[in-house]
Amino acid sequence: MSLQIIINGFALGSVYALIATGFSLIFNILKFSNFSHGALMTLSAFIGYFVSVRTGWSLVPIVLISMLAGGVIAYIGEFVAFRKITLRQTSPVYFFVSSITLATLYEGIVTIWVGPNFYNYPRFFKSLVIRFGDFVISTSDLIMFISSAVALILLMLFIQKTRLGRALRSVSFDRDTAGLMGINVSGTIQLAFFISGALAGLSGVFLGINYTLYPQLGNLVVKGFIASVIGGLGSILGAVIGAVLLGLMETLLINYVGSGYAPVFTFLIMLVFLLVRPRGIAGINIQEKA
Amino acid sequence: MRKVFFMLLVVLLTLSMAASGAPKGDIVIGCLQDITGVTSTLGKMVQEGANWALNEINAAGGVNGRKIRMITYDTKADVQEAINAFTRMCTRDRVSAIIGPPVANIGIAIAPISENYDVPVLGFAIDDRVTMKDDGTPYKNMFLFQPSARQQGAIMANFAVKEKGLKKFGIIYNQANAYSVSLLEPFKDAARQAGAQILVEVPYQPTDRDFKTMLNKIVSAGVDAIYAPNYTQELILITQQARAIGFEGQLICGLDACPPFPALCGPESNGIIYINNITETEPQIQGIIAEYKQKTGNDATNKFFLGYDVMKILAKVIGEVGDNPVAVRAAVENLKGYQGLTGNITIDPKTHQTKGLEMVMHEIENQLPKMLKRYAVPE
């Protein structure tokens, strides 16, 4: 097996990891698959793009702006689409319906705003390629890999080591008891949405740099969902492991069976996981509500 | 008695006006393009070019004293929308001719339906299936006004092998895209006939965005060049990712590598060889590009000039045979040696495609197109 293929697999996996983590965070707290996450990635990536075109700023401020935009939009989205459902504790199916509706709204806003065309981020790196002996890695892939790793480590530290992180874990474990213990449940859910939105902004910018920007960019959220299923729905570490495995698996499949059959095998593997080990690799057994 | 006399007078006056050949109102041309869908950048350019020519014609007095009016319908890149609009133009709008889309899937859908009417469609979709039936005869109304996929594939292969000395090719193409697939076999056949080898062929899916692994496979086979007949967005990713995995050889591309591709793609586009209908260095084309830019702030691409030429051709033939669609169709079928901005255009009645029309080969240098040579498919 060529080392170059593994490098490509890790690069692809790091993109999926960013998508899967934001996705998984909401699943962890509210126990539903937030399909508006993909469209939010697109929306915040476009905000970063237009700021970048107008100001000519470098990558770091653009990433920060997109993350902030993603966080704020997700925060508002939570209030508009999910708050009532959470408070009334009505049928969990409404979470799913609401997330699909919100995704359509975000995608509609992007399409009206930018039209159906694609856009290319301005160039942030002088050199496209970094060489390690006989092997090459694209600069954007490497920076994306490092950024993903840093963001995910910070997120894990935040969840494990801070009071707010403990509150997140408590709400995730049992919302009612957490409320009785004096934790601000609504505030904690808002925080989860903000962090998830910020991760959507971060992944959106790197997806845009790597794959150009277009209104349907967020469809890649499906990969995040598959990664979450493989890793274990609701587990952030599982999502990362699942994403890296998915990236490697796709790269190998493309190399050995071709791009046409690769998605077939990918979905088959996801189905096998759902049938044989629905709790995924990480082993957290969470019953999805919707 | 007075009533009968008055009616006779009206009839006589009407007949005398018809006999004298007085203007009968505007000449109506249909324009069927994707204005808002995924290929809107192509459709809008064809429409703009046709409109530019129309304004020139009308400003010069029209055709035999009559103005041309163009009715545009948006296909939204949707086959059903396109069929509905096509039917409306043939039945309700009574157009003399239709300027067709540059998109194969819409052309393929319209072609069999067009047999029910007598309105010529002057289009730009290079897939043979848009103009030719399975039995090898042409659809009576469908015409192609640029070299076909077969001709363009052969032009690119012959140029790459004979003029650039490239001998080993890898191919990456979108297997779900009619344009990409239609340019595949003609290139392979012509390259092999010219003595080159196709070492590896990698199909991809429309949803693919990461091509590095596929490109690795091609590069590790030791190719001289990569043939990539793909749409602009995918071509940007393929080019950037080919350079990102260290490929320094040449890429041979279709029309989608024309400007604005070099600007969108960046310095990685340098070294790409591509085919085009026009060259931006010709003074007449330069003049229109500058004027259009000044007026609209946009760049006129090759599709603009295809639309421009076809509108001028329609004005010429309508001037000669009138605006009856059947007469227009017969004149278009026998069009010979029309010197347009996209070359010297002759329609082959056996195929309803252009015959011997040259394309202009370019190479991208410093993110700008540099004309290499005019090239036609060897007869």
**Locate tokens 């790196």: which residue?**
A125
In angstroms, the separation between the Cα of residue B237 and the nearest Cα of chain A is 6
- Is residue B246 less than 8 Å (CB to CB) from chain A? yes
Q: Chain B within 8 Å of A264 (Cβ-Cβ)?
A: no
Q: For the residues B351-367, what does the mean pLDDT come to?
A: 95
Lowest pLDDT segment from A13-17, B234-238, B350-354: A13-17
Angle at A59 between CA A55 and CA A60, to 5 degrees: 105
Q: Lowest mean pLDDT: which of A9-18, A204-213, B105-114, B338-347?
A: A9-18
Where is pLDDT greater, at A188 or A114?
A188
The answer to whether B199 and B168 have CB atoms below 8 angstroms apart is yes
Please check whether residue A49 lies inside any domain of the structure: yes
Domain that residue A166 falls in: 3-276
Q: Does A149 reside within a domain?
A: yes
A50 vs A35, residue with greater confidence: A50
Q: What is the pLDDT of residues A229-285, one digit of tens each?
A: 888 877 888 888 999 999 999 999 998 888 888 888 888 888 888 888 888 887 655
Mutate to test the interface with A, among B34, B232, B245, B269 (most CBs of A within 10 A): B245
CB contact under 8 A, A117 and B37: no
For residue B379, name the pLDDT band (cuts at 50, 70, 90).
Answer: low
In a domain, A134, yes or no: yes
Provide, as residue numbers in chain A, all residues whose Cβ is less than 8 Å from the Cβ of B232.
Answer: 118
Tens digit of pLDDT for each residue in B11-30?
555 544 444 443 468 999 99
User: How far lies B142's CA from each of B138, B197, B339, in Å?
Assistant: 7, 35, 21
Residues B175 and B204 sit within 8 Å (Cβ to Cβ): yes
Beta-bridge partner residues of B368 = B365
Query: Token pair 């975000």 is at which residue?
Result: A106
What phi and psi values does residue A96 have, to the nearest 5 degrees? Answer: -65, -50
pLDDT at residue A288 greater than cutoff 50: no
- Phi-psi sector, B127: left (phi>0), alpha (psi -120 to 50), beta: beta
d(CA B130, CA B149): 11
**Cα separation, B112 vs B293, whole angstroms:** 38
Neighbour tally for B292: CB within 10 Å: 17
Sign of the torsion angle spanned by Cα atoms B343, B346, B348, B353: positive
Chain centroid to Cα A235, Å, comes to 13
Reported residue count of chain B is: 379
- Judge residue A290's burial from the number of C-beta atoms within 10 Å of its C-beta, 0-12 exposed, 13-18 middle, 19 or more buried: middle
Q: Judge whether B344 and B357 are in contact, CB under 8 Å.
A: yes
What number is the ipTM of this complex?
0.80
Q: Name the amino acid, one letter, at B220.
A: S
B212: which chain A residues are within 8 Å (Cβ-Cβ)? Answer: 8, 11, 138
Are residues B246 and A131, on separate chains, in Cβ contact within 8 Å?
Answer: yes
Q: Using 50, 70 and 90 to split pLDDT, how confident is the model at B32? A: very high
Phi-psi region of A280 (alpha: psi -120 to 50; beta: other; left: phi over 0): left
Q: Can you give the C-alpha Rg of chain B in angstroms?
A: 23
**Chain A contact set for B171 (CB, 8 A):** none
Does residue A282 form part of some domain? no
Q: Which residue of A has its CA nearest to B212?
A: A8
| Residue A290 placed within a domain | no
**Best CA proximity match to B102, nearest among B290, B254, B252:** B254
Residue B287 has pLDDT above 50, yes or no: yes
**A128 vs B contacts (CB less than 8 Å):** 240, 243-244, 268
Interchain contact A11–B (C-beta under 8 A):
yes
Residues in A closer than 8 angstroms to B37, CB to CB, are 116
Mean pLDDT across A181-185: 92
With beta carbons less than 8 A apart as the criterion, state whether B354 and B346 touch.
yes
pLDDT of residue B121: 98
CB contact under 8 A, A8 and B210: yes
How wide is the angle at C-alpha B276 spanned by C-alphas B270 and B280, nearest 5°? 80
Instruction: Say which of A116, A138, A251 has its CB closest to residue B36.
Output: A116
A111/B contact by beta carbon, under 8 A: no
Q: Is B342 helix (H, G, I), strand (E, B) or coil?
A: coil
Q: Does B55 touch chain A (CB under 8 A)?
A: no
User: Domain spanning B150-276+360-375: which CATH class is it, in words?
Assistant: alpha beta
Which of A39-43, A258-262, B131-135 has the lowest average pLDDT?
Answer: A258-262
Query: A138 with B244: CB under 8 angstroms?
Result: yes
Helix (H) / strand (E) element for B59: namely helix B40-59
Using an 8 Å Cβ cutoff, are A207 and A11 in contact?
no
Q: In the 3-class helix/strand/coil scheme, how is A92-138 assigned residue by residue?
A: CHHHHHHHHHHHHHHHHHHHHHHCCCCECCCCCCCCCEEEECCEEEE
Determine, yes or no, domain membership for A203. yes
| Closest in A5, A131, A138 to B213, CB measured | A5
Residues of A in contact with B210 (CB under 8 A): 8, 12, 210-211
Output the pLDDT for position B135: 95
The reply to whether omega before B186 is within 30° of 0 (cis) is no
Which pLDDT score, from 0 to 100, does residue A115 have?
75
Confidence grade of residue B10 (pLDDT, cut at 50, 70, 90)? low
Q: What 8-state DSSP symbol labels residue A217?
A: G
What's the CA gap between B224 and A79, in Å, rounded? 57
Give residue for tokens 């096998």: A272
Percent of chain B scored above 90 by pLDDT?
Answer: 79
> Rounded mean pLDDT of B289-298?
93
**Per the CB < 8 Å rule, is A212 touching B212?**
no
pTM of the model: 0.82
Residue B330, min C-alpha distance to chain A (Å): 38
In a domain, A179, yes or no: yes
pLDDT of residue B377: 75
What is the reported pLDDT for B6? Answer: 57
> Which chain A residue's Cα is nearest to B172?
A259
pLDDT of amino acid A283: 62
Lowest mean pLDDT among B40-44, B214-218, B227-231, B343-347: B40-44
The full DSSP string for B236-269 is HHHHHHHHHTT--SEEEE-GGGSTTHHHHH-GGG
A212 token code pair: 């150009």
Q: What is the CATH number of the domain that holds A139?
A: 1.10.3470
Encoded tokens for B356: 């011997």
**pLDDT digit string (tens) for B74-110?**
998 899 999 999 999 999 999 999 999 888 889 999 9
Please state, rounded to an integer, the average pLDDT across all residues of chain B. 91
Return the pLDDT at B133: 96
Q: Is residue A284 part of a domain?
A: no
User: Do residues B320 and B280 lie in contact, with contact meaning Cβ atoms separated by under 8 Å?
Assistant: no
pLDDT of B119 higher than 80 = yes
Question: Per-residue pLDDT tens for A48-90?
Answer: 999 999 999 999 999 999 999 999 999 999 999 999 998 887 7
- Write the DSSP symbol of residue B206: T
Least CB-CB distance to A212: which of B208, B213, B233? B233
Residues 6+ apart with CB under 8 A from B105: B79, B178
Q: Give the sign of the dihedral formed by CA A71, CA A74, CA A79, CA A80.
A: positive
Which B residues 12-51 touch A at CB under 8 Å? 36-38, 40-41
Q: What are phi and psi of B177, to 5 degrees?
A: -115, 120
Shortest distance, CA B242 to any CA of chain A (angstroms): 10
Of chain A residues 192-221, which have a CB less than 8 A from chain B?
A: 210-212, 214, 219-220
pLDDT at B122: 98
Average pLDDT over residues B148-166: 95
CATH of domain B27-146+282-348: 3.40.50.2300
What tokens appear for B378 in the block?
A: 């060897």
Quickly state the pLDDT bin for A114 (edges 50, 70, 90).
confident
> Domain map of chain B by residue range?
27-146+282-348, 150-276+360-375
pLDDT of residue B36: 82
Yes or no: say if A19 and A44 are a contact pair by the CB < 8 Å rule.
Answer: no
Question: Are A289 and A32 spatial neighbours (Cβ–Cβ below 8 Å)?
Answer: yes
Confidence of residue A290 (pLDDT cuts 50, 70, 90): very low
Tell me what pLDDT residue B343 has. Answer: 94
Q: How far is CA B76 from CA A235, B11, B73, B101, B189, in A?
A: 42, 46, 9, 11, 35
Q: Could you report the per-residue pLDDT of A138-162, keeping only the tens digit for each? A: 888 888 889 888 988 999 899 999 9
The string of pLDDT tens digits covering residues B312-339 is 999 999 999 999 999 999 999 999 999 9
Contact B83, B89 (CB under 8 A): no
